[in-house]
Structure 1
Amino acid sequence: MRAVDTAFNYDRFAGHRVLRRVAGPLLGEFEVSTKVGYFPDGHSLDPARLNQAVAESADSLGRTPDTVLLHNPEHDPDGLADACESLAACVRGGLCRAWGIATWDPRPLVHAAGEVLVRPDVVMVRAGLSVSEPVLYAGEQFTTMLGADDVWGMAPFAGNPSDPVWSKVDATVFLQPGQQATPVQARLAAAFALPAVSRVAVGTSCPGHLDELAAAVRLAPSMEVIGEYRELLRAQAHGEGDLRAAHPG
């Protein structure tokens, strides 16, 4: 792992300073992405506030962020276009090297995508077996409409890899045959294909869990099974099937 993802508001708005203090000179060895959009008084896509947050992020980190993501703009879809222009201007001004959008639920943003005149470098969306078909489809549609160069995933375990619900899912069926993996590793491998993403952001609070996940990135998901799973999700979303059939075994 050579990339770190954080946000302006993490750790009660102290996350950047904490990361800089803990990582020290090692921070320069990592690709750093952060997010802006949340402030002490709430969420805002005001371009001036976003620009200031990007500048403060670079100052707190002690380095220029590689990527700055617009944080959950679904809270204000009508402000999406101007907010995107603001982050693109930050790139042109040297405050960050690339920009993008991080959205937990892209459905409210699809109608606003046509108003965005600048192409983001990346879109980050939820990924994995916990994501519903409507959210998966909206994320793919939104990304395509924007013409983003890359797609990243987040929250592959819906925030809790130990949730009892995961014991009911045999995620190893989503792997190509002949691969050995723990259930957690198999779920991460599936997340790289639900939807198709180039990287997945995971939590760092448990070193053992992180070590297990690091060994999973070389696993190959079965695109045939992934396709069948998506079909079952579509049927379930339209009330045409039983979602339990999507979890063989």
Structure 2
Amino acid sequence: MRTADRRIALGLYRTGHTRHLLEGALELGVTDLDTAFNYHHFASHRTLAAIAGDLLPAFTISTKVGYFPEGHDFDPARLRAAVEQSARELGRAPDTVLLHNPESSVESFADACAVLLEMRDAGLCKNWGFSTWDPRRLLEAHWAIPRPDVAMVRAGLTVSAAVLNAIDELVDRAEITELWGMAPFAGNADDSIWQTVDTSTFLLPGQQGGALQAGVATAFAIPEVTRLAVGTSVVEHLAEVVDGSRLEVSTERVTEYRVLLRERATVSAGALSRKDR
């Protein structure tokens, strides 16, 4: 994948909603925002419009629906109301609306997809899809859905072999042509593990990049995604992320890693099976 095909989205989960951060993002060329109906205590959309309504036209905005104060719910009427409310509060239709963690309401997945397709056709968003943290349970169910415009999944070196395999299967089953990534550091880029793992081994020779930057570049390849949502409240950190998106990774090294990851998972599963006998 060419670096020109990669986009960084500023993820607003546990990220401070400040005008300073949004202005900094635009200065860095980050023009994608990723939020959700339930982010910022169910006030993300209203807060964005209040602090930076004049900046929002410069962003491509993706949001998610599915969580409500009472919990996860894919009731069609509630989803429709949430999409409509999102557009009102933002002062514009979001570019993309995603079903939030459909694995939590698998039995309603197909109907929920139909609702978002309907919302797209009604002009309440330009694209629809779903965002899944762990698609394994989703794949256990029998469903038939219209092809989504986009799907968002976990990406990077923290994703297990089982989840990566499930993502591959999901892409084939749902005929996904646009795949986005999220959480390249599992929500904690400051974890000490990123100081001990040499992520630079995934980079093509002759490039300079720290652990975070190499981790970002690798996340675009594991699995292969065109957009990566990264949360931060610090503009300087976002600048590092943007620099990382410009680094090139070795496809051979990524392939070797995926093979080793699968082999290790197979060995571990075999050991557990023998232990249970």
TM-score normalised by the chain length of structure 1: 0.94
Any conservation in 1 of the 2:203–2:247 contact (CA below 8 Å)?
A: yes
The match for 1:245 is none
> 1:214-225 counterparts in 2 under 5 A?
214-225=242-253
> 1:61-76 counterparts in 2 under 5 A?
61-76=90-105
The match for 1:35 is 64
The match for 1:49 is 78
Among 162, 170, 173, the alignment partner of 2:198 is 170
- Point out the more displaced range, 232-241 or 194-203: 232-241
Deviation at 1:143, TM superposition (A): 1.7
> 1:78-93 counterparts in 2 under 5 A?
78-93=107-122
Among 156, 163, 170, the alignment partner of 1:135 is 163
The match for 1:77 is 106
Letter in 1 for 2:71: G
Give structure 1 stretches of 5+ with no counterpart: 242-249
2:37 and 2:112 map into 1 onto residues whose CA distance is 16
Deviation at 1:167, TM superposition (A): 1.6
Are 1:181 and 2:209 matched, yes or no?
yes
Q: CA 1:240–1:53 in structure 2 vs 1: closer, same or farther (change >3 Å)?
A: closer
1:108 and 1:190 map into 2 onto residues whose CA distance is 26
Higher relative contact order (CA 8 A, sep 6+): 2
Give the SS at the match of 1:200. strand
Letter in 2 for 1:136: L
- Point out the more displaced range, 210-219 or 118-127: 210-219
1:4 and 1:204 map into 2 onto residues whose CA distance is 12
Number of residue pairs the alignment of both structures matches: 240
Deviation at 1:116, TM superposition (A): 2.5
Any conservation in 2 of the 1:84–1:116 contact (CA below 8 Å)?
A: no
1:220 and 1:121 map into 2 onto residues whose CA distance is 27
The match for 2:135 is 106
Any conservation in 2 of the 1:127–1:191 contact (CA below 8 Å)?
A: yes
Deviation at 1:240, TM superposition (A): 6.3
- Point out the more displaced range, 18-27 or 28-37: 18-27
Letter in 2 for 1:155: A
2:144 and 2:195 map into 1 onto residues whose CA distance is 42
Where does structure 1 differ by over 4 angstroms across 4 or more consecutive aligned residues? none
Letter in 1 for 2:199: A
Letter in 1 for 2:149: D
Deviation at 1:111, TM superposition (A): 3.2
1:174 and 1:208 map into 2 onto residues whose CA distance is 24
Letter in 1 for 2:267: G
